Amino acid sequence: NAGVTQTPKFQVLKTGQSMTLQCAQDMNHEYMSWYRQDPGMGLRLIHYSVGAGITDQGEVPNGYNVSRSTTEDFPLRLLSAAPSQTSVYFCASSYRQITNTGELFFGEGSRLTVL
Amino acid sequence: SQELEQSPQSLIVQEGKNLTINCTSSKTLYGLYWYKQKYGEGLIFLMMLQKGGEEKSHEKITAKLDEKKQQSSLHITASQPSHAGIYLCGAVGGSNYKLTFGKGTLLTVNP
């Protein structure tokens, strides 16, 4: 069972470069989301999607773009990377509304360093 | 926005000891979720509490929800090295789709 798969696991960028973090899930989950985790800040929601074609902003959306063209995939794009975006990024998914079960399935994370 | 404060921030216990982690919300809790994270890995769902006074257990981990105090506690009985990790509480506020997390409690269990 693959679950939630994130790629790449590690990435080093230079300031101003662009890149896409990939996230795929094989559980037919409607809900997908991206979090970033920083020391002392905890997990913060960047963007989320409740289905194909539907996305919305979380707490810290600036500097990130998302799209949801299929149920399975939810890529996170950094258009012009900044050192402040150095972080560990987690993709998570769930069947429907979180309040139903509370269970988000997380990927293993993508560690991004922006120099 | 809803804020969750966890205490303590870190905890070191000897194997076999009991411990408690608290999570306090700045707003009314409509549901409280506990997750565990091992170093370098993603989060694993432990349990969800939705009703005041509700108590759930997962192996040797028990969590309770006190709606009046806007607080939840997670208690580990007879801790083991396998319990080590970061425990995070989460809550849904304002939207059924936005799960906000506390900053986590780092638990170390010494053998």
Q: Does B42 touch chain A (CB under 8 A)?
A: yes
- Residue in B97, B101, B105 to test binding to A, most A beta-carbons within 10 Å: B97
Q: How many CB atoms lie within 10 A of CB B82?
A: 11
- Which chain A residues are closer than 8 Å to B33 by Cβ? 98, 102-103
Q: Which of B66, B69, B72 is nearest to B20 (CA)?
A: B72
**By three-state DSSP, how is residue A99 classified?**
helix
Instruction: Calculate what percentage of chain A has a pLDDT beyond 70.
Output: 94
Mean pLDDT calculated for residue range A83-105: 86
Q: How many CB atoms lie within 10 A of CB A24?
A: 19
Residue in chain A lying closest to B42 (CA):
A108
Q: What is the pLDDT of residues A44-70, one digit of tens each?
A: 999 999 999 999 999 999 999 999 999
Q: CB-CB: which of B40, B88, B97 is closest to A97?
A: B97
Cβ atoms of residues A21 and A47 within 8 Å: no
pLDDT at B92: 80
* Structure token digits, residue A65: 């773009």
Size of interface A-B (CB pairs under 8 A): 67
Give the gap in angstroms from C-alpha B22 to the nearest C-alpha of chain A. Answer: 16
In the numeric block, the tokens 């269990």 are attached to: B109
Instruction: Calculate what percentage of chain B has a pLDDT beyond 70.
Output: 95
